Structure 1
Amino acid sequence: MRRNWVEQMGQNPLLLPPQVQAGNGSAAISKLLTERSITERLPTRELARHQAAALSDLARHAATYSPHFIRRLASAGLTPQSLAEPGALTRLPPLTRRELVGAGDALFCTAYPSGHGEHSTTSTSGSTGEPVTVRRTSLSELQWLVYTLREHLWHDRDFSGRLAAVRANISQPADTPDWGPPCSLFFLTGSWSGRPASWSVQELCRWLGEYDPSSLLVLPSTLAGIVAELDRTGQRLPQLRWIRTLSETVTSHLREEVRRVLGVGIDDIYTSQECGVMATQCPEHGSYHVSETILLEVVDAAGQPCSVGEIGRILVTDLVNYLTPLVRYEIGDYAEVGGPCPCGRGLPTIRRFLGRERNLVLLPDGTRHWPVVGFHRWGDVHDIRQFQFIQLDRQTILAKMSAPSRPAPEQEARLTTIIQEELQHPFAIRYEWQEEPLPRGPGGKFEEFLCRAE
């Protein structure tokens, strides 16, 4: 059921300009993109004021039409009006994936503004073992297109070249004459070609060599395998100028390898099926700018906001989804808080995204931290093309290594010393060596560090 709340549309620059409906395609995108060129330059405090107003509007709506959200507010002793007051949001307990799944239909709103367009249902891949389903409106999808196009424009990309995509959601090879929305709605683009992430890196490299794209959209783990194979064979992609990644963590090691082998950088996008485009990298300074319609909190173990330079859990609030109230949604990732960006944009920043808890090393005393493994020091010891660490227990790590040959015992011992120094604990390191690239998991994903210890 949709209701005609026209007065709600266009009053806040984070929603939709007046007289524009979410289903109007290029007109709506153009209007919103113009708004974003203004909101991205707002002083941080003014942007926060608009976000607080948007949160208050969302809370009033959800408190009327979502039974689950009504109970959440009541149990926290909050009202829709008080939720947007300074410091009040932290009193609302996070919405976990398990709670989201368990809420069932009570989570969703029974009505939403007519200006938000049609609605659709989407499900995540369930990489945490808890697949979730959310309902989104056309306005939610529109924001995704706007932030995608803005990211292209920020990085001054040439749309006339060929775009290659390697995605987990591509099941069969596909080719189209243009890039598709949003780019093809405004620009004459080159062709698009997509391949499944489940293809072997050898197959992907052969295809990329034949297609020779100027832009590549790819999972970081797939990119790591491609770069390792290109480095091994000496093959290059002469037209490649831009690489965009999403869905997984981009490590500094991968950035260095891509720059060394292909001579280009990585522009990463922080997205999810639940919330769309949440943050994109600054073209000048590399930090991640959080999208205007996303409240992204980083909190410590006690649930308190992290300061600049601190690492904590991510809680996301989607300010435009009036069908599924994702307020303080614990998406499962960790991030390091950034400071003001010298580029002049007032958008909040994240210095880096660090993956999930399962990607953190677990020390014997129960503390966790991001696993720095010293890969930048390995080159002086042995030629290692790819690696994956699996922490088996609090004292043992299995190191799977892809290399042209197995190192001598003294080299292996030196690697162990480096890894122990970087991980800040004398773990027992068990090695498995192979010449072939390491296999990827379901959907073509790959994790460089995986903790199975408890």
Structure 2
Amino acid sequence: MAIFSQMQFIERMPPEQQNRLQMRQIERVLRFAHETVPFYRESLDGIKCIPDGEMDEAFFSSLPLLTRSEIQSAGLELRATRTPPEHGPVYLQRTSGSTGKPIEVATTSLRAVMSHAHTLRTQYWNRFDVTQKSVEIRTAYKPGAEPKNRVWSVLPWSGPSKRLDINLPISELFDQFINEAPSSVLSHPYTLMLLAERSRETGIQPSHLTTVRSFAEMVTPNIRQTLREVWNVPVIDSYSATEIGIIAHQCPENETLHVQPENVRVEVLDDNGNQCKPGTSGRVVLTPLQNFASPLIRYEIGDYAEVGESCSCGRTLPVLSRILGRHRNLCVLKNGERFFPEIQADLKSFGHLRQFQAYQKTLEDIDLKIVATRPFTQTEKSEVQAIVQKKFHYPFRVNIIEVDDIPRAANGKFEEFKSDIPEAKIDG
């Protein structure tokens, strides 16, 4: 609770003061990494020439970016030879590998303490009734591994939490969800939308539901609209990563995201490596501030985000307007233009369409898998092709493939658009 109290003070602190505190903590991370992490001994050698407490943003911004491939290649070279005793035991975190490049980093018990504090912050912001039951829909525990008497808040009066398997068929998952009758649900946005659509089809509503929380995927305007229409609840989103922890929480007064500066330094960089201005988007680069076991300094995580203006809520925390997706979710045109396509809302007019996924094979071809309650007519296929061409700003050859199901990834995530265009081809 002491950390949470400090966080309440920080979130109203002038941004310049927040930034100074962050830079002090980053300096501690850099000096510790230089002393104890073999990977950084050369790249951080310049820190020796800087007097204590005088490291500035210019030095920090001059440091090289860290990629997922480098983390994989570095292996144990990226782990500290010792950690501060007060940070607690060291344990490993492994990402799901949805990018095709799973990574493993070491962290300490301090990470869990900070995670609890940041979870408490969003519960407080949104006035969640944590005495009620919560359901998490995510990757299932291994048999016999689910903890007993799980709760969803660190508060002593927290209600129980139950985990459901996100990879179940949606009809079975929906039945379990309804039977649990939770007050709160946490899952990936796409899964939440499928459950809401199932509610619409069956006429069965989650009778006690007051809170919907999302993570791991982009929340589109169409998903928010569907959940409001069907369940009459807003979506409270968060942005996190296995190797980092909490990155940002949705503002309680609007749909933007507040960066959690006590936990992570967030940079959003344009193609020239400069910090993006509000209203523009770029690559997300992260530096966790509390992980001394495997310091990730200027880690290019692979996400894209849009920087937001200062928030009208009065909190002075940095703002991200939205998370756009990963590099593989960018559509690429022949002229080099790249953008994140969104056709979900446009395809809603086809009432028999249940699921779709678009895949860019080449600079000329898009495969569009669709799941529907009846076959699409040739006229409907032509209409869909025209929608894709209009929204994708190019007369792609759109190959419509009707299938019975489009499975999610093993980690439960679902991507409505993926591109197979190599980065080198994009740049050239």
CA shift for structure 1 position 226: 2.1
1:405-452 superposed Cα distances (whole Å, 9 cap, x missing partner): 233322322222222111111111111235x55321222221111112
Q: Which residue of 2 aligns with 1:35?
A: 6
Question: Is 1:451 aligned to 2:419, yes or no?
Answer: yes
CA shift for structure 1 position 317: 0.3
Q: Which residue of 1 aligns with 2:363?
A: 394
CA shift for structure 1 position 105: 1.6
Q: Which residue of 1 aligns with 2:325?
A: 355
- 1:388 and 1:449 in contact (8 A); partners too: yes
Question: Is 1:325 aligned to 2:303, yes or no?
Answer: no
Distance 1:393 1:78, change over 3 A: farther
Q: Distance in 2 between matches of 1:175 and 1:405?
A: 43
Distance 1:86 1:122, change over 3 A: closer
1:308-335 superposed Cα distances (whole Å, 9 cap, x missing partner): 1111111000111111111101111111
- 2:285 and 2:301 in contact (8 A); partners too: yes
Q: How does 1:55-454 map to 2 (within 5 A)?
A: 55-74=26-45, 84-172=55-143, 176-180=148-152, 183=153, 185-292=154-261, 293-373=263-343, 375-380=344-349, 382-434=351-403, 436-454=404-422
Q: Which residue of 1 aligns with 2:17?
A: 46
For residue 73 of structure 2, what is the amino acid of its counterpart? Answer: G
Q: If the length of structure 1 is used for normalisation, what is the TM-score?
A: 0.87
For residue 309 of structure 1, what is the amino acid of its counterpart? Answer: G
Distance 1:66 1:407, change over 3 A: same
For residue 303 of structure 1, what is the amino acid of its counterpart? Answer: G
For residue 334 of structure 1, what is the amino acid of its counterpart? Answer: Y
CA shift for structure 1 position 380: 4.1
Q: Distance in 2 between matches of 1:437 and 1:388?
A: 10
- 1:66 and 1:108 in contact (8 A); partners too: yes
CA shift for structure 1 position 155: 0.8
CA shift for structure 1 position 77: 11
Q: Distance in 2 between matches of 1:204 and 1:281?
A: 26
CA shift for structure 1 position 278: 0.8
- 2:33 and 2:292 in contact (8 A); partners too: yes
Q: Distance in 2 between matches of 1:417 and 1:100?
A: 43
CA shift for structure 1 position 141: 1.8
Q: Distance in 1 between matches of 2:210 and 2:148?
A: 20
Q: Distance in 1 between matches of 2:364 and 2:216?
A: 30
CA shift for structure 1 position 238: 1.6
Q: Distance in 2 between matches of 1:452 and 1:258?
A: 31
Q: Distance in 2 between matches of 1:75 and 1:241?
A: 52
- 1:228 and 1:386 in contact (8 A); partners too: no
- 1:176 and 1:192 in contact (8 A); partners too: no
CA shift for structure 1 position 101: 1.4
- 1:178 and 1:189 in contact (8 A); partners too: no
Q: Which residue of 1 aligns with 2:425?
A: none
Q: Distance in 1 between matches of 2:188 and 2:49?
A: 40
Give the secondary structure class of the aligned counterpart of 1:112: coil
CA shift for structure 1 position 75: 8.5
Identity, in percent, stands at 32
- 2:366 and 2:399 in contact (8 A); partners too: yes
Q: Distance in 1 between matches of 2:125 and 2:140?
A: 26
Q: Report which stretch shifted further, 420-429 or 166-175.
A: 166-175
Q: Distance in 1 between matches of 2:95 and 2:126?
A: 28
The count of residues paired between Structure 1 and Structure 2 equals 420
Q: Distance in 1 between matches of 2:49 and 2:319?
A: 28
For residue 379 of structure 2, what is the amino acid of its counterpart? Answer: E
Q: Distance in 2 between matches of 1:123 and 1:265?
A: 31
- 1:309 and 1:338 in contact (8 A); partners too: yes
Give the secondary structure class of the aligned counterpart of 1:105: helix
- 1:287 and 1:350 in contact (8 A); partners too: yes
Q: Report which stretch shifted further, 192-201 or 332-341.
A: 192-201
CA shift for structure 1 position 253: 2.1
Q: Distance in 1 between matches of 2:371 and 2:284?
A: 33
Distance 1:262 1:118, change over 3 A: same
CA shift for structure 1 position 285: 1.4
CA shift for structure 1 position 116: 1.4
CA shift for structure 1 position 169: 5.0
Segments of 5+ residues of structure 1 without an aligned counterpart are 1-29
- 2:357 and 2:416 in contact (8 A); partners too: yes
For residue 453 of structure 1, what is the amino acid of its counterpart? Answer: I
Q: Distance in 2 between matches of 1:410 and 1:172?
A: 49
For residue 414 of structure 2, what is the amino acid of its counterpart? Answer: F
For residue 283 of structure 2, what is the amino acid of its counterpart? Answer: R
- 2:30 and 2:47 in contact (8 A); partners too: no
For residue 212 of structure 1, what is the amino acid of its counterpart? Answer: A
- 1:76 and 1:92 in contact (8 A); partners too: no
RMSD: 2.2
Give the secondary structure class of the aligned counterpart of 1:324: coil
- 2:360 and 2:421 in contact (8 A); partners too: yes
Q: Which residue of 2 aligns with 1:26?
A: none
For residue 339 of structure 1, what is the amino acid of its counterpart? Answer: E
